């Protein structure tokens, strides 16, 4: 079987490593892949948003199955375009990917179908937003409607910050058209949980829960990033809470999307906050999370390709999806300066004996060497019987990886370890 995976980050590397476990996979192409993925797949220099290029490649190379992982090609309709030429895909069609592509859509969906989320208002002019903000309480959360590389959310502590956020999104257009409409929402508190799920539109199977660490600095300080590390399972996500989420959030979301004529097939990601009033949705993503995938897939005991194909074929209810009861930790090693400006092109040294536990996110091959090529450079991932052992191993391995000006948070998983002590 010839498989094509669209994307080129750590998440795609984790997906490819897992897909390779299936013996029927003869060849995996990554479009565009990266310098580390090159060890596990054939990288093809076609960008993840070049839908025409992706379709031509699939046709010319007789691709049997495509996995579309990043948000932008999904929102742009990569799955629709591939299905049109007869290539089965894992991932939602554009009309369902809108659940991530438009915050206004997802907020209105939740309101219409009584799915718990933060209270909100939508604005399409800066004047109306500013008038409203003068009457609201702080902190207040301001979100660009469209995709914004994970940076379209600003938590404003006061009116000045809020007005500044509105100006930058709606007047200065820092996120382009994504900021033509904004959502202003109530600030929620509580532990955050990421739940990725497989769904074929009828059945929904949550994967093992995880916890991201979004802020750049230790103790959850500093700027929001794409994610500085993850652990799974998330100790705050008890069986009782999982049952409640299934009843009040997961099944209602699938049904709501069906009722809207936007059946969702693929990986639906629920960003949840466990508030004092119960679990609420912070955001939906139409895809695997990054770096959540890096801790969730190593714990998947079932065959990933089989599960993905069951999703595509509407047979998820007949397919076993089993997770191990171990723990997994992922520590992100980033370029110093990320998420602001940083330099690229530094050679990376990874000792051979730990190479298997390293997922490459932003690096390329240059003159036969792996060099840094992004903000988040790589992930050190470890599985163990306990979370503490997984974290120790991930950090021990990370300490053996060298590149100039590298940065990692030293406190990934600490909050989770404390939560475990409390119970």
Interface residues with ligand GLY (CB under 6 A)?
Answer: 150, 212, 227, 285, 289-290, 292
Residue 360 binding result from ligand GLY, ligand AMP, none, given CB thresholds of 5 to 8 Å by partner type: none
Q: Compute the distance between CA of residue 7 and CA of residue 298 in angstroms, rounded to an integer.
A: 19
Cα atoms in the 13 Å half-sphere on the side-chain side of 167: 6
285 binding partner (options ligand AMP, ligand GLY, none; Cβ < 5 to 8 Å by kind): ligand GLY
CB 99 within 8 A of CB 260: no
State how far Cα 372 lies from the chain centre.
Answer: 21
d(CA 293, CA 7): 14
Among 185, 200, 290, 373, interactor with ligand AMP by CB under 6 A: 185
Among 47, 150, 217, 347, binds ligand AMP (CB under 6 A): 150
Using CB under 6 A as the binding rule, whether residue 118 contacts ligand AMP is answered as yes
> In whole angstroms, how close is the CB of 370 to ligand AMP at the nearest point?
29
Dihedral sign of CA atoms 345, 216, 207, 75 in order: negative
Report if residue 110 touches ligand AMP, rule: CB under 6 A. Answer: no
Q: How far apart are CA 58 and CA 89, in angstroms?
A: 11
| Under rule CB under 6 A, residue 121 binds ligand AMP | no
By CB under 6 A, tell whether 93 contacts ligand AMP.
Answer: no
d(CA 90, CA 312): 6
Please choose which of ligand AMP, ligand GLY, none residue 290 contacts, taking the beta carbon within 5 to 8 angstroms, the exact cut-off set by kind: ligand GLY
CB 166 within 8 A of CB 136: no
User: Quick one: which of 7, 33, 73, 271 contacts ligand AMP (CB under 6 A)?
Assistant: 271
Angle between helices 94-101 and 103-112 (to 10 degrees): 90
Centre a 10 Å sphere on the Cβ of residue 221 and count the other Cβ atoms it contains: 8
Q: Shortest distance, CB of residue 291 to ligand GLY, whole angstroms?
A: 6
Residue whose C-beta lies closest to ligand GLY:
289
For residues 343 and 313, give the distance between their C-alpha atoms in angstroms, rounded to a whole number: 44
From ligand GLY, ligand AMP, none, interface partner of 289 (C-beta below 5 to 8 A by class): ligand GLY
Tokens (6 digits) for 116? 């718990």
CA within 13 Å, CB half, 46: 18
Phi, psi of 335 (to 5 degrees): -80, 130
Closer CB to ligand GLY, 350 or 359, in the complex = 359
> Contact between 248 and ligand AMP (CB under 6 A)?
no
Tokens of 63: 């691709």
**Three-state SS at 212:** strand
- Give me the residue label for tokens 């006061």: 158
* Least CB distance to ligand AMP at residue 142 (A): 9
By the rule CB under 6 A, 188 interacts with ligand AMP: yes
Partnered with residue 265 across adjacent β-strands are none
From ligand GLY, ligand AMP, none, which one binds at residue 72 (CB under 5 to 8 Å depending on kind)?
Answer: none
- Of 203 and 335, which CB lies nearer to ligand GLY in the complex structure? 335
Our CB check for ligand GLY shows the closer of 162 and 331 to be: 331
Instruction: For the CB of residue 196, give the shortest distance to ligand GLY in the complex, in Å.
Output: 9
Q: Which is nearer to ligand AMP, 93 or 292 (CB)?
A: 292
Residue ranges that bind ligand AMP, judged by CB under 6 A: 118, 141, 150, 153, 155, 185-188, 192, 214, 224, 271, 282-283
């Amino acid at each position: 079987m010839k498989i094509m995976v669209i994307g080129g980050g750590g998440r795609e590397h984790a997906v490819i490593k897992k897909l390779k476990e299936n013996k029927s996979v003869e060849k995996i192409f990554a479009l565009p892949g990266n310098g580390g993925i090159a060890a596990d797949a054939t990288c093809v220099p076609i960008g993840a948003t070049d839908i025409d290029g992706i379709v031509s490649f699939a046709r010319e190379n007789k691709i049997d199955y495509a996995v579309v992982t990043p948000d932008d090609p999904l929102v742009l309709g990569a799955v629709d375009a591939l299905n049109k030429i007869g290539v089965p895909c894992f991932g939602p069609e554009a009309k369902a990917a809108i659940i991530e592509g438009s915050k206004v859509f997802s907020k209105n969906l939740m309101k219409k179908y009584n799915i718990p989320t933060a209270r909100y208002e939508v604005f399409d002019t800066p004047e109306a937003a500013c008038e409203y903000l003068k009457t609201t309480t702080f902190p207040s959360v301001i979100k660009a409607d469209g995709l914004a590389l994970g940076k379209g959310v600003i938590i404003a502590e006061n009116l000045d910050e809020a007005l500044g956020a509105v100006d930058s999104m709606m007047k200065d257009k820092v996120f382009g058209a994504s900021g033509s409409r904004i959502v202003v929402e109530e600030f929620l508190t509580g532990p955050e949980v990421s739940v990725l799920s497989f769904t074929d539109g009828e059945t929904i199977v949550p994967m093992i829960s995880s916890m991201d660490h979004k802020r750049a600095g230790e103790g959850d300080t500093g700027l929001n990033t794409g994610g500085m590390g993850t652990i799974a399972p998330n100790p705050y996500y008890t069986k009782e809470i999982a049952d409640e989420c299934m009843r009040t959030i997961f099944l209602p979301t699938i049904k709501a999307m069906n009722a809207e004529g936007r059946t969702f097939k693929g990986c639906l990601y629920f960003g949840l906050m466990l508030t004092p009033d119960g679990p609420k949705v912070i955001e939906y993503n139409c895809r695997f999370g990054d770096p959540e995938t890096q801790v969730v897939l190593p714990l998947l005991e079932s065959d990933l390709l089989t599960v993905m194909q069951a999703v595509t074929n509407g047979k998820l209810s007949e397919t076993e999806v089993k997770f191990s009861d171990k723990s997994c930790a992922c520590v992100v090693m980033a370029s110093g300066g990320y998420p602001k400006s940083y330099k690229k092109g530094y050679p990376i040294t990874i000792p051979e004996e730990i190479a298997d536990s390293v997922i490459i996110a932003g690096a390329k091959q240059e003159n036969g060497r792996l060099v840094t090529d992004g903000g988040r450079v790589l992930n050190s991932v470890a599985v163990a019987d306990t979370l503490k052992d997984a974290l120790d191993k991930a950090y021990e391995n990370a300490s053996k990886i060298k590149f100039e000006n590298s940065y990692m948070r030293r406190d990934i998983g600490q909050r989770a370890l404390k939560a475990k002590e409390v119970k």
